[in-house]
Amino acid sequence: METTLLSSVQMARFASHGFLRLDSVVPDDINTAAMAAMRDGVPDVPYGIPLGKAFPDDSFAHRLVNLPAVAGALRSLVGPDPTVDHIAVHVREPNEGQAQPLHGDAIIDTRRDAFDVQLMYYPHEVTADMGGTLLVPGSHLRLTNESDTGRYQNLRGQIRLTCPAGTILLLHHGIWHGGRRNDSARRRYMFKIRFNPTTPQVRLWDTTDLDDPEVRAELSTYFPWYEHATWRLEVYNRIALWRTLTDDNTFDVDYWATRVSNRPGRTA
């Protein structure tokens, strides 16, 4: 299968932002098939089914996950043989009058050396009034439980997604998100697949640019909803994730991890 792997800079962006955005990567014929399937009902899949067995060859979902850009991004993030945790069709009804509370999916997830990826696919254009997904960049490494964050109405730097048809988001499982209120007269559709890795998530991408200074720059990104002290903690969390992803326990940014792991005389 042809795939376009992510670069180290893109992976570092995922580690700092908690998501990657691929605009208009899905061609119109798949978007049209997806819309029809979502209206008619997409057959469910059992928890934990291998991705290769999850979707019939002629389905929009099979074609979607085998697009070179999508397959390459998935391979870079969750490896060659992920399993499908679950799928869901998310609909925001026309003029529905309410938004979803801000939340993380599932329950509190304390894993620091593995992560799931959620693919969100928008088969039609999402305009500002259509209830696109709300995302809080850099929230994915905060350990919260489901809608603990639901009372937060707006955070500086949040993203209220608008996008062209055929756009895909790839999210770290921990990111705070929610479906916004749809004030338009059109139903808004989104198809979600959650992937579980089955292999260690170590150097699965195209690592030729691993030493690019942009990697450190991405890992140092500041988001406006952090206070200064919290930003330090988030950079530390990203360093820990990057150490896992690269299997390099010496990696650091501005000495944040080296300082707090210095325990002379101890071996573990």
Binding region for ligand AKG (CB under 6 A): 90, 92, 100, 105, 133, 177, 179, 190, 192
What are the angstrom distances between the C-alpha of 219 and each of 155, 212, 233?
21, 12, 12
Measured between alpha carbons, how far is 113 from 237 in angstroms, rounded to an integer?
Answer: 11
Site of tokens 């998530």: 201
Distance CA 70, CA 210 (A): 21
Instruction: State the minimum distance, in angstroms, from the CB of residue 156 to ligand AKG.
Output: 20
- From the CB of 14, what's the least distance to ligand AKG, in Å? 18
Provide the minimum distance between the beta carbon of 69 and ligand AKG in the complex, in angstroms, as a whole number: 21
Nearer to ligand AKG, 105 or 252 (CB): 105
CB-CB neighbours of 191 under 10 Å: 22
Provide Rg for the chain, Cα atoms: 19
Supply the minimum distance, in Å, between the C-beta of residue 3 and ligand AKG: 26
Q: Nearest distance from residue 98's CB to ligand AKG, in Å?
A: 12
Would you call 133 helix, strand, or coil by DSSP?
Answer: strand
Q: How far is the CB of 106 from ligand AKG (least distance, A)?
A: 9
CA-closest candidate to residue 6, choices 147, 268, 181, 210: 210
Which distant-in-sequence residues (6+ apart) come within 8 Å of 233 by Cβ? Answer: none
Q: How many CA atoms lie within 13 A of 79 on its CB side?
A: 16
Supply 26's token pair: 């899905």
Tell me if 235 sits within 8 A of 17, measured CB to CB: no
Number of H helices, E strands in the chain: 8, 9
Tell me the closest approach of the beta carbon of residue 94 to ligand AKG, in angstroms: 14
Beta partners for residue 206, in sequence order:
7
